A and B are shown apart, each in its own frame.
Chain A
Amino acid sequence: MLRADNVSFAYNARAPLVLDQVSIGVQRGDLVGLLGPNGSGKTTLLKILGGMLHPSAGGVQLDGRRLAGWSRRELARQISVVPQETHATLDFTVLDIVLMGRYAHLGPFALEGTADLEIARETLAATGTADLETRPFATLSGGEKQRVVIASALAQASDFLLLDEPTASLDLGYQLEIASVLRHLSRERGTTMVVCTHDLNFAAALCGRIVLLKKGRVLAQGPTAETLTAATIRDAYGVDADVQFHSRAGHLTVVPVGRPS
């Protein structure tokens, strides 16, 4: 279990708190959506859960061990993070990018072996990108890039996968595709995921649990059906929305209706 206890965070001593006493718990196997308006602290919380930022107060524990004091390499074997966008400035192939996921498992001078190659190919298959293996990463479409980066994070063989806006800047088709890849990973591999997103419908379609943040505090958290309601959405975003179960989609849908004056 990955747990944040009373985590507060500010970028420096004089800056306002980005997170204020946030406590959340992510059980193994969970698929958690991290929602909230711009500036609510979602990305910061995601980075703190991944050990990329250190909380100013409070702490993060993984299975009862505090993250503070772990080396980056140790952490990477447990938790992988998929950033919002990845640009390759050099001409790496898709396979090159995925093999970089093996970094935390190799010695400083070791070359990847056949076992690493097998893992990489398996994660390419799991994300539906096996046929892109030899393509230059820079020539892929946005959706393909995102899937390859997810494959690279999976090659890290960590149990926890934290994704920052995996569908930002992707069109409707790719959004569905990413959702299905993540759902598949959760079901087939039992990968625990925390997904930070602005897309409430994407979260409703994908996540079993929701954490809703506002101004650095937890506004609501719990099972999606109980947490994603017209009331919480009005509270968090200041928007009137219809929240209904959509029978053809098979999940809750959120339709924003207007801003109450």
Chain B
Amino acid sequence: MAGRPDLRRRLVATVAGFGSLALAACLLAPLVGSTPIRLTAVFDRSIPFADNVDAQIFFVARLPRVLAATIVGSGLALAGVVFQALLRNPLASPDTLGVSAGAALGAVLAITFNADFSLLGVSAIPLATLAGSLGALAIVYGLSAARRRGASSMVLLLAGVTLTTLLGALTTFVRYLADFTQTLQTVRWLMGSLDVGSYGPIAAALVPLTLACAGFATLPRVLDLLSIGAESAAARGVNVPRAEKIALASASLATGAAVSLAGPLSFVGIIVPHLVRLLVGADHRLVLPAAALFGSAFLIGCDLVARTAFAPAELPVGVVTAIVGGPVFLWLLFRRQ
């Protein structure tokens, strides 16, 4: 077994398998909801769009939400994979380095101080969220760069945990200043939601996510090597400081993009990478594409549950990812022994 030329075959199988799963989820999830619609009617070109109720529900009401789940799921899963390899810690997640906490602080600030600005059609809260996550990245990065000998993964982890707590306290302080309406809005935001309403926010989040993916594309083999130790990686020919910079920046950008679109959704970035590794092994050339596609399908599924489980009432999707994710993660942890 394990002949390397079979890697190409495994790559094709992985992309085809997880790709069809993600595509099926994308097409089928919008069909489910309070008003049943049919896929054949949605794509029936003989009825003009204005008269085609099925198509309107599909494209206007439900598809934006499913597409938001697609890119948020991918972004969080990819960031999780990269953080776990970079920090050589299977428990790392997009939240570990404080990026999510920075994003939350940005959002809560924008809500509490009624920030009213926009840039290229993107409104204040997502912008503040993205700025918050990049600010947190800059702090972690500055701290790691201050240690000239490169970022030890343990130091990065501790810095991340500290920063998360610190930013969390600031967020609590800002929430304390908020009035009743703002508090409600903040609570809603912190629960996470994929109900983005239109395609605009999705297109806006795609910009940082695409940048992040360009970074991820250079990383698969480097992450394999970094996961066995920075020194080993350097000895095998990896430019470790550069690789760590690219990994840190792309993973933070992907996290920022995801959180700015959907708020903080726990567990997606930690469970999806582990489930994917169970299926395709450790090689990042397989894990990265698989995690991107499976992350989409997973979040679309969770959102479907959130929309339909107690219809017509809706659960916050963050609650579903945590309720599904928590037990799965515990199972993963204790399965090893």
Contact = CB atoms under 8 A, between A and B. Distances in A.
Interface of A: 11-12, 50, 52, 71-73, 75-77, 80-83, 86-93, 95-97, 99-101, 103-104, 106, 108, 111-114, 116-117, 133-134, 149, 152-153, 156
14 contacts: A12-B148, A73-B237, A76-B236, A83-B232, A86-B229, A87-B88, A89-B227, A90-B227, A92-B283, A103-B221, A103-B238, A108-B221, A114-B3, A152-B236
A133 B237 CA distance: 23
Interface stretch (B4-12, B46-54, B98-106): B4-12
B218 A89 contact: no
B4 A97 contact: no
Given A103-B237, A117-B3, A117-B4, A96 B229 contact: no
B236 A101 contact: yes
Contact of B224 (A75, A92, A133): A92
B236 A116 contact: no
A87 B89 CA distance: 11
Contact of A83 (B3, B229, B240): B229
Interface residues on B, range: 35 or more
Contacts of A103: 221, 225, 236-238
A117 B7 CA distance: 12
A81 B235 contact: yes
Kindly name the residue among A86, A89, A91, A97 whose own CB sees the greatest number of chain B CB atoms within 10 A: A89
Contacts of B7: 111-112
Q: Is the interface of B mostly helix, strand, loop or mixed?
A: loop
A218 B215 CA distance: 45
Given A90-B227, A134-B2, 10 more contacts: A72-B239, A75-B237, A87-B88, A90-B90, A92-B228, A92-B283, A103-B238, A112-B7, A113-B5, A117-B3
Contacts of B236: 76, 80, 100-101, 103-104, 152, 156
B4 A111 contact: yes
Interface of B: 1-5, 7-8, 11, 84-85, 88-90, 148-149, 218, 221, 224-225, 227-229, 231-232, 234-240, 277, 281-283, 285
Given A108-B218, A114-B5, A117-B4, A92 B235 contact: no
A152 B239 CA distance: 18
Contacts of B221: 103, 106, 108
B238 A72 contact: yes
A96 B240 CA distance: 20
Nearest to A99: B4
A88 B227 contact: yes
B237 A11 contact: no
Contacts of A101: 236
Contacts of A91: 277, 281-282
B167 to A, nearest CB: 27
A111 B285 contact: yes
A223 B206 CA distance: 64
B228 A87 contact: yes
Given A76-B236, A80-B235, A89-B89, A95 B2 contact: yes
Contacts of A12: 148
